[in-house]
A and B are shown apart, each in its own frame.
Chain A
Amino acid sequence: MKPKWQVWANEAKAEFPKANSALLPLLHRIQTEEGYLSENTINDVAELLQLPVPYVESVVSFYSLYFQKPVGKRVIHVCVGLSCALNGSDQLMHHLEGKLGIQEGQTTQDGEVTLLEAECLAACDLAPVAQVNLRFVAPVESADALLAKEVNS
């Protein structure tokens, strides 16, 4: 456990004092810095908020944006919703897989990039849409343009 997590836990509890409402904000904050939520981290969070470990695990595993395994420095979510699919998102995903040498769901060997599918990201007017570390990149002109701007720069 890092000392500042105690501070963060207190801040989350001060902002959301009721029920277990501090849990999601605290998990977000720790994951943003750590990259993912390891078993140890989950134990620490449970201790910080005085919650049972299985409870915290069950919450973490429910939500798709919490990672329980290490991810790359850049997590690329490619939206595969219908409006994006009608505008070439499947091809975009294929091209990214080819350029990065990985399949959807995997991380490059150098630990730089994780490539994931996203369900509709609510930006269908900008299809095809991607997010890099939850920042919208849209519309994506090509796999090359996305990687040049977001990964190789």
Chain B
Amino acid sequence: MSQGPYLLRNQVIADIDQIDVYEANQGYQPLRKALKEYDPKALVEMVKASGLRGRGGAGFPTGMKWSFLPNDGRPRYLVVNSDEAEPGTFKDRELIEKNPHQLIEGMIISSYATGAREAYVYCRGEFLYGAAQLKRAVAEAYQHGYLGENILDSGFSLDIKVYRGAGAYICGEESALLESLEGKRGNPRLKPPFPAVAGLYGMPTVVNNVETICNLPPLVENGPEWYRTMGTEKSPGLKVMSVSGHVNRPGNYEIPLSTPLRSLIEDYAGGIKGGRQVKAIIPGGSSVPVLTADKLDTPVDYEAILAAGSMLGSGGCIVIDDQTCMVAVSARLVRFYREESCGKCTPCREGTFWMTDVLERMEAGAGNPRDLDLIRDMADNIAGKCFCPLGDASLGVVVSAMKYFEDEFEAHVTEHSCPMGARLYDTVNH
């Protein structure tokens, strides 16, 4: 058994983005093994047995997702979601920029397993460098016979194409991503049908996150039992956590699932800057509820984080220190959703706009005591009332922050100023 890291191998092997270095470090060996020793069905069973769950945010079992593809002879597609734009999440950027061949190898194995002959990587438009790295790596993979016709004499053929979006968070939602990949506005589609049945160009499609697919080479190499030696029964394996905010060593850390949150923040990310204390943690990207400091001993896995009152989501862990105003934090995040709302549904389009306005005026000292109930009322009228998850996502932080830090929200409207001195939020136009 090799030693980790298994996904962020770039952190220990220099220049692993170059194919000769990747090959010299067992790169593309798992692909040989997969093509030689497994038929596609056995690979799907292996992924099921491993318990690997989608790392994009929803945590849906990957093997099960693959098995939803109808067996009707139509062409199938694999689409890799690299539209990483959930605030606090930056793992896929590191993976595509620094270790692109592992993604490509994972895509070939996944395509072989699911019967796709054509695969796409959808990068967000801002990933100009990441997309260039991937294109270069794809070209290298063709030259070395890992892509194209009859890969390694297996009879299996695959083409990979790299596609760049043009700036829209909503395209991270899988059906909006497919719309964008078809050259349209990134409006989410009605589901069902799910992409497995009618996805890209109306054909059966698997959409998986970059990190999910990067798990395939080590999984094939080491087997599902190995994967289950880490984490828990329902959350086995490895997760890349992106830690940012007020920590000494922000960065991506590959951890076995169920590592305590405290260890992630203190041991991996070097603790809180300036010796201050943790006030709140957003453990899974900006769409999930905040956790308070008393939850620091929660294991980082899907079930434990859920039981603690939040979600593991994408693994974008934003750590907030005790000098920071939670009204400001909430305002900043709701504003993000205001900017990224596609405008289709009134509750999301108008609700995020109005709520940003109210939070910003509170932070600027111009709020009034009715604002707290107003925010609750707006939240109630957004939740569950929109076509896609973006509206609901805008509420995770603000609703939980109001619950845990109600005094702080109240102080803003009774004292007509920010008790923390409005250090963070100084660009509002009040």
Q: With A19-B182, A24-B183, A119-B339 as known contacts, state yes or no: A83 contacts B244, CB within 8 Å.
A: yes
Q: Among B126, B165, B245, B340, which residue has its beta carbon within 8 angstroms of that of A24?
A: B165
Q: Among A21, A66, A86, A124, which residue has its beta carbon within 8 angstroms of that of B182?
A: A21
The number of residues on chain B lying at the interface, defined by a beta carbon within 8 Å of a beta carbon of chain A, is: 56
Q: With A82-B332, A83-B318, A134-B126 as known contacts, state yes or no: A120 contacts B87, CB within 8 Å.
A: yes
Query: Which residues does A use to contact B, with CB under 8 Å?
Result: 15-16, 18-25, 27-28, 58-59, 62-66, 77, 80-83, 85-87, 90-91, 93-94, 118-127, 131, 134-136
Report yes or no: A65 in contact with B125, Cβ–Cβ below 8 A. yes
21 contacts between A and B (CB under 8 A): A16-B163, A18-B201, A19-B182, A21-B163, A23-B183, A24-B183, A59-B184, A63-B166, A77-B126, A81-B332, A82-B318, A83-B245, A86-B320, A119-B336, A119-B339, A122-B90, A123-B93, A124-B89, A124-B244, A124-B245, A134-B125
Report yes or no: A21 in contact with B126, Cβ–Cβ below 8 A. no
- Given A82-B245, A82-B286: 14 more A-B contacts, CB < 8 Å: A18-B182, A20-B182, A24-B163, A58-B185, A59-B183, A63-B168, A65-B125, A65-B167, A86-B245, A93-B427, A122-B92, A124-B245, A124-B316, A134-B128
A-B pairs with beta carbons under 8 A, tally: 147
How far, in whole Å, are A121 and B127 apart by their CA atoms in the complex? Answer: 9
Report yes or no: A125 in contact with B251, Cβ–Cβ below 8 A. yes
A-side contacts of B127, CB under 8 Å: 122
A-side contacts of B252, CB under 8 Å: 125
How far, in whole Å, are A114 and B125 apart by their CA atoms in the complex? Answer: 18
A-side contacts of B6, CB under 8 Å: none
A-side contacts of B168, CB under 8 Å: 62-64
B385-430 contacts to A, CB under 8 A, are 424-427
How far, in whole Å, are A16 and B93 apart by their CA atoms in the complex? Answer: 24
A-side contacts of B282, CB under 8 Å: 82
B164: interface (CB < 8 Å): yes
Report yes or no: B166 in contact with A66, Cβ–Cβ below 8 A. yes
Q: With A20-B184, A64-B168, A83-B318 as known contacts, state yes or no: A122 contacts B244, CB within 8 Å.
A: no
B41: interface (CB < 8 Å): no
Report yes or no: B183 in contact with A82, Cβ–Cβ below 8 A. no
Query: How far, in Å, is A63 (CB) from chain B's closest CB?
Result: 4
Report yes or no: B165 in contact with A124, Cβ–Cβ below 8 A. no
Report yes or no: A124 in contact with B332, Cβ–Cβ below 8 A. no
B161: interface (CB < 8 Å): yes
User: B250's closest neighbor in chain A, by CB?
Assistant: A125
Q: Among B86, B165, B424, which residue has its beta carbon within 8 angstroms of that of A85?
A: B424
User: B83's closest neighbor in chain A, by CB?
Assistant: A122
A-side contacts of B348, CB under 8 Å: none
Report yes or no: B89 in contact with A28, Cβ–Cβ below 8 A. no
Q: Among B126, B250, B318, B332, which residue has its beta carbon within 8 angstroms of that of A131?
A: B126
How far, in whole Å, are A21 and B166 apart by their CA atoms in the complex? Answer: 13
Report yes or no: A62 in contact with B424, Cβ–Cβ below 8 A. no
How far, in whole Å, are A87 and B424 apart by their CA atoms in the complex? Answer: 9
User: B91's closest neighbor in chain A, by CB?
Assistant: A122
B-side contacts of A80, CB under 8 Å: 332, 427
Report yes or no: B320 in contact with A62, Cβ–Cβ below 8 A. no
Q: Among A19, A118, A124, which residue has its beta carbon within 8 angstroms of that of B90?
A: A124
User: B92's closest neighbor in chain A, by CB?
Assistant: A122
How far, in whole Å, are A120 and B285 apart by their CA atoms in the complex? Answer: 11
Report yes or no: B332 in contact with A27, Cβ–Cβ below 8 A. no
B236: interface (CB < 8 Å): no
A-side contacts of B336, CB under 8 Å: 81-82, 119-120
How far, in whole Å, are A77 and B339 apart by their CA atoms in the complex? Answer: 15
Report yes or no: A122 in contact with B85, Cβ–Cβ below 8 A. yes
Report yes or no: A122 in contact with B126, Cβ–Cβ below 8 A. yes
Report yes or no: A135 in contact with B128, Cβ–Cβ below 8 A. yes
Report yes or no: B126 in contact with A118, Cβ–Cβ below 8 A. yes
Query: How far, in Å, is B14 (CB) from chain A's closest CB?
Result: 19
A-side contacts of B207, CB under 8 Å: none
Query: How far, in Å, is B249 (CB) from chain A's closest CB?
Result: 9
B259: interface (CB < 8 Å): no
Report yes or no: A124 in contact with B163, Cβ–Cβ below 8 A. no
B-side contacts of A127, CB under 8 Å: 244, 250
Q: With A24-B183, A62-B168, A64-B166 as known contacts, state yes or no: A135 contacts B129, CB within 8 Å.
A: yes
